[in-house]
Amino acid sequence: MQFSDLYTKVRSQQNLATAQKAVAKINSEENWAKSLDADALKDAFQRLRDLDEKARIVKGFALVREAASRALGLRHFDVQLIGGLTLLQGKLAEMKTGEGKTLTITAPAAVLALSGRGVHVVTANSYLAQRDAELMRPVYEALGLTVAFVHSDQSVQEKQAAYLADVTYGVGSEFGFDYLKDNLAVHAERQVQRGLFAAIVDEVDSILIDEARVPLIISDQATDMSEVVTLLDTCVRGLTPEAHFTVDMKERTAQLTEAGYLAVEGALVAAGVIKEGKELYEGALLPWARRLHSAVRAYALYRKDRDYVVSGGEVVLVDPGTGRAMEGRRLDDGLHEALEAREGVAIRQGTVVKATVTYQNFFGLYERLGGLTGTALTEAEEFSDIYQLETVVIPTNRPVARQQLEDLVFLTKAEKFSAVVQEARRRSQAGQPVLIGCGSIRDALVLDRMLASHGVAHETLTAKHIEREAHIIAMAGKPGAVTVATNMAGRGTDILLGGEKPTRGDCDSDEAYAQALAEWEKAREVVRKAGGLFVLGTERNGIRRVDNQLAGRSGRQGDPGVVQFYLSLEDELLQVFGRSRQLTLVRKLIEASGSALGGQTVGRLIVQAQKGVENQGYSARKSLMQYDKVLSDQRIAVYALRQALLQGGAQEQLRLSILAAIDSWLDEHFPEDALPEQLPAADLKRELSEVFGLTLPLLGWVNKDDATVQSVASKVREAALARLDEVLPDEDASRVYLLDVLGQLWTEHLGALDELKGNVGLKSKNGLNPMYQFSKDAFELFKEFERETNLLLAMNLLNTGRRDENDAAKAVLANKRSAEQAVALELEKRWVRRNDACPCGSGKRFKECHGKLA
Ligand code: ADP
Ligand code: MG
């Protein structure tokens, strides 16, 4: 027991006590709610808009419960109301699997919708979003509310309609991408969302923790580096572990050894990329060095069918926590390109980011945020740290009767799997349904084959066809059923003992229905007697929460159930112990006893390993969030400006921007303390023409007797203003032009920030605080971005009608702006040669000290 867990428990108790008082009040409104006919109920609910929040909640919850009783025949349990109240307080409700989270959401969603501002209900996948929206539609409609489902196949109009509904269901990425796209739009009519008011996130751990490792990115094509990546891939393929590179599994990094570096260098010299004696770490070749690092990491750390799969000619990431394919997500730092090179699929190289946001910062934009999940407690600290979401444990409707058997450890995976098959067969023959949980698709397929060859009838789910699998898993509770599934498969689908409950619609007649029901009841009894659903985990995940998810599939709503995990010393989780004494001891014990080992030693070892993995994931997500926070502040500023421009005032803003560009140019070129004859008038004249499209008699002005620097500057300014008035477009054109240029430079700015991030990573090696350095530099870049936006706006516009000169001028600017080059030059200035003494003063050579390839 840790203090943080204790804290959560105490707070949960307090929360429960207050919530129970509120529930008593809601219950006392039940007779009133029951007395209303359908129209009156709708009316009463709509009239709650005039009440204060407290009264709204009490009466609102009573009406929602009544609406659900009538429309679905489901009356919210008290614990569901408590869950709903918790969500309204902006907290995170831990409600176990099968407690009815879908129904729980309706009460807070309906009450929040009374504000008229649109509530987003976020689910773990698209199938669940549609299912839940449809299942709960009758409840919302009975209250006079509209409900919709938003998904990626919709047109802009369809999406707009979906977002206009009172309650909108969808997946997290859809809401996030729509937000980003809305902020790339140049016309207000193309925007689909109407602000981010309230979000209720179901399976909140899946979205805010599992998926939070990879930010949402909208990208575009850029310069092609595929040849470089392919060449580097061939260079690293020949490398051998230990001799050429070392791997740190804990930190998920890989480093070339000196021999490894020399080998790669040799290959590159042979390929003519670098000259003999030149090093990759010099100036212009730095982009190569970064990509080499990616190639090494990809080669050393990423495995096909575990970390990613190749499907449809693409490298698709697999979530290690859940085994689910993460369509459309890409690793950053060039890792994804390196994997594409390895697999010989098309390299989607050099995309530029047009817009990006992490889940952490996106959901932080909502005014009201609440979440639910079956398993939050193990990550309570992270939820509170990163999202400021307090975790509250909601009691179950009925006591949990699930039995947890102790873990068994086998020597090898092979022994483990054959024990799994034996156990599944034994239990299934006794009528007990068995759900076998697998850590990866590959394991699921291995077990699939083994079960088949032992003649055990079974189903295998790999989260590939979410909808079809939802129906299969609903049947996993039938007597003797054996179901093999990856962690994510069928998440959100109920496993009822005895299988899916028959409905009248499935049957031809009332008699047939009655008979089907009777058979179902009989099956339930068989399964109950056999001990309920048996969940067999075939490995412990690095994250305890994922194991708890799997375990939670049995023993729902007070049902009987059993859970057990089978492990082997070859499991990845146990690899973090390397060849430690603890593991050697376990091995000896197993060998001595000649059978699998259970007991406390094993249990402790596993929890220790899991905590290590969890902490590591936590720090990775936290640092991603900190970096993104810096970006987030800038993004909010830029998006606020965009939003304002869509509403109007674009012409005025354009004018101001151009004025700012002119003034800043004048400040720079006409220093107050200079004498007119000191000005490089000829150069200035040329620049004025190139940059601002102004042909002015500058030499004449400067040489006038009474000329001062100020008087010349103000003449230039006047001329520029006159030109500006000539060419300033109307409001509509101004808006499109402004947003377009802003978008272009924002994209470049994101690229520059990204380079900066990589650069800061290098610097942290020399003992500087990387976060501090990063936010400082990022702010400088932001100011630069603003200045350049103004300048480009001025250049393009004032040069209107002067095409060729305009292009030349653009080229000048583009040169100045190439972020990659700038970073490379900067590094070159500071860079210490690999054979130099390390600046830290250790006396070692740089390449053996702080300059080790990382
Ligand atoms: P969770 O998401 O918490 O795992 P679900 O929302 O899928 O649970 O609901 C599980 C099952 O419980 C569903 O079959 C649902 O119809 C049922 N259920 C939910 N709430 C109630 C209720 N108040 N009364 C009866 N059955 C309910
Ligand atoms: Mg659910």
DSSP secondary structure letters along 456-501 = ---EEE-SSSHHHHHHHHHTTTSTT-EEEEETTTTTT----TTSSP
Ligand 1 neighbourhood includes 556 CB (under 6 angstroms): no
Specify the higher pLDDT residue, 436 or 596: 436
Q: Which two tokens stand for residue 377?
A: 């407690």
Write down the pLDDT at residue 64: 98
Nearest-atom index, ligand 1, CA of 72: 16
Write down the pLDDT at residue 279: 60
Do 347 and 337 touch, CB atoms closer than 8 A? yes
Q: Ligand 1 pocket: which of 132, 494, 496 to mutate (most atoms <8 Å of CB)?
A: 494
Interacting residues of 808 by C-beta distance below 8 A, sequence separation 6+: 690
pLDDT (mean) for 279-291 = 58
Statement: residue 136 has pLDDT above 60: yes
Amino acid at residue number 694? L
How many of the other CB atoms lie within 10 Å of CB of 591?
10
Of the candidates 595, 553, 525, 597, which has an alpha carbon nearest to the alpha carbon of residue 434? 553
Statement: residue 634 has pLDDT above 60: yes
Q: Which two tokens stand for residue 814?
A: 């583009």
Write down the pLDDT at residue 832: 44
pLDDT (mean) for 560-572 = 93
Pairwise CA distance, residues 413 & 409, whole Å: 10
pLDDT (mean) for 122-150 = 96
Nearest CA, atom 6, ligand 1: 100
Ligand 1 neighbourhood includes 131 CB (under 6 angstroms): no
For the chain, give the mean pLDDT.
85
pLDDT tens digits for range 637-663: 999 999 999 988 999 999 999 999 999
Element (H, E) at 61: helix 53-72
Pairwise CA distance, residues 95 & 486, whole Å: 22
3-state helix, strand, coil in the chain (%, to 5): 60, 10, 30
Write down the pLDDT at residue 810: 46
Distance 109 CA to ligand 1 centre (A): 17
Q: Which of 12-16, 76-80, 154-158, 339-343 has the lowest mean pLDDT?
A: 12-16
Q: Are strands 408-410 and 308-311 parallel, antiparallel or unpaired?
A: unpaired
Q: Is 92 exposed, middle or buried (0-12, 13-18, 19+ CB in 10 A)?
A: buried
Statement: residue 76 has pLDDT above 60: yes
pLDDT tens digits for range 211-249: 877 788 887 766 567 778 888 888 888 888 888 888 877
pLDDT tens digits for range 575-620: 777 777 777 888 888 888 888 888 777 888 888 888 888 888 888 7
Write down the pLDDT at residue 369: 95
% of the chain at pLDDT higher than 90 = 40
**Torsion of Cα atoms, 689 then 690 then 692 then 698, to 10°:** -30
Distance 99 CA to ligand 1 centre (A): 6
Write down the pLDDT at residue 760: 64
pLDDT tens digits for range 695-718: 888 888 888 778 888 888 889 999
pLDDT (mean) for 753-765 = 65
Q: Which of 91-95, 270-274, 426-430, 722-726 has the lowest mean pLDDT?
A: 270-274
Q: Ligand 1 pocket: which of 30, 74, 127, 206 to mutate (most atoms <8 Å of CB)?
A: 74
Statement: residue 732 has pLDDT above 80: yes
Distance 141 CA to ligand 1 centre (A): 19
Statement: residue 759 has pLDDT above 80: no
Q: How far is CA 574 from CA 322, 535, 610, in A?
A: 18, 21, 9
Strand, helix or coil for residue 98:
coil
Do 689 and 681 touch, CB atoms closer than 8 A? no
pLDDT tens digits for range 501-523: 998 888 899 999 999 999 999 99
Of the candidates 395, 373, 394, 396, which has an alpha carbon nearest to the alpha carbon of residue 383? 373
Name the residues around ion ligand 2, CB cutoff 5 A. 101, 492
Q: Which two tokens stand for residue 668?
A: 């720079």
Do 345 and 351 touch, CB atoms closer than 8 A? no
Ligand 1 neighbourhood includes 547 CB (under 6 angstroms): no
pLDDT (mean) for 682-689 = 84
The DSSP code sequence of 214-263 is S-EEEEE-----HHHHHHHHHHHHT--BTTTEEEETTTTEEEE-HHHHHH
Write down the pLDDT at residue 346: 86
Ligand 1 neighbourhood includes 559 CB (under 6 angstroms): no
Write down the pLDDT at residue 287: 56
Write down the pLDDT at residue 805: 42
Q: Which residue has the tokens 């009450």?
A: 111
Write down the pLDDT at residue 283: 41
Pairwise CA distance, residues 270 & 713, whole Å: 58
Nearest-atom index, ligand 1, CA of 77: 23
Write down the pLDDT at residue 761: 58
Nearest-atom index, ligand 1, CA of 493: 7
Ligand nearest the Cα of residue 99 is 1
Ligand 1 neighbourhood includes 74 CB (under 6 angstroms): yes
Pairwise CA distance, residues 299 & 293, whole Å: 10
pLDDT (mean) for 800-829 = 42
Of the candidates 831, 667, 819, which has an alpha carbon nearest to the alpha carbon of residue 749? 819
Q: Which residue has the tokens 């870049």?
A: 781
Confidence of residue 814 (pLDDT cuts 50, 70, 90): very low
Pairwise CA distance, residues 613 & 320, whole Å: 12
Nearest CA, atom 18, ligand 1: 100
Statement: residue 435 has pLDDT above 50: yes
Ligand nearest the Cα of residue 556 is 1
Write down the pLDDT at residue 820: 38
Ligand nearest the Cα of residue 491 is 2
Nearest CA, atom 2, ligand 1: 101
Confidence of residue 160 (pLDDT cuts 50, 70, 90): very high
Ligand 1 neighbourhood includes 76 CB (under 6 angstroms): yes
The DSSP code sequence of 614-649 is HHHHHHHHHHHHHHHHHHHHHHHHHHHHHHHHHHS-
Statement: residue 804 has pLDDT above 60: no
DSSP structural state of residue 372: E
Q: Which residue has the tokens 């008593």?
A: 24
Confidence of residue 143 (pLDDT cuts 50, 70, 90): very high
Nearest-atom index, ligand 1, CA of 557: 12
pLDDT (mean) for 404-424 = 94
First to last CA, the chain: 37
pLDDT (mean) for 338-352 = 82
Of the candidates 100, 110, 130, 102, which has an alpha carbon nearest to the alpha carbon of residue 198? 110
Pairwise CA distance, residues 307 & 97, whole Å: 27
Phi, psi values for residue 51, rounded to 5°: -85, 165
Distance 476 CA to ligand 1 centre (A): 17
Pairwise CA distance, residues 471 & 495, whole Å: 10
Strand, helix or coil for residue 414:
helix
Do 200 and 368 touch, CB atoms closer than 8 A? no
Do 315 and 338 touch, CB atoms closer than 8 A? no
Specify the higher pLDDT residue, 76 or 306: 76
Nearest CA, atom 25, ligand 1: 74
Write down the pLDDT at residue 829: 37
Q: Which two tokens stand for residue 367?
A: 């005014």
Q: Which two tokens stand for residue 550?
A: 């799997």
Pairwise CA distance, residues 120 & 175, whole Å: 8
Write down the pLDDT at residue 424: 97
Ligand nearest the Cα of residue 81 is 1
Pairwise CA distance, residues 778 & 436, whole Å: 49
Write down the pLDDT at residue 408: 92
Q: How many CA atoms lie within 13 A of 538 on its CB side?
A: 33
Distance 148 CA to ligand 1 centre (A): 21
Q: Which two tokens stand for residue 167?
A: 């309650």
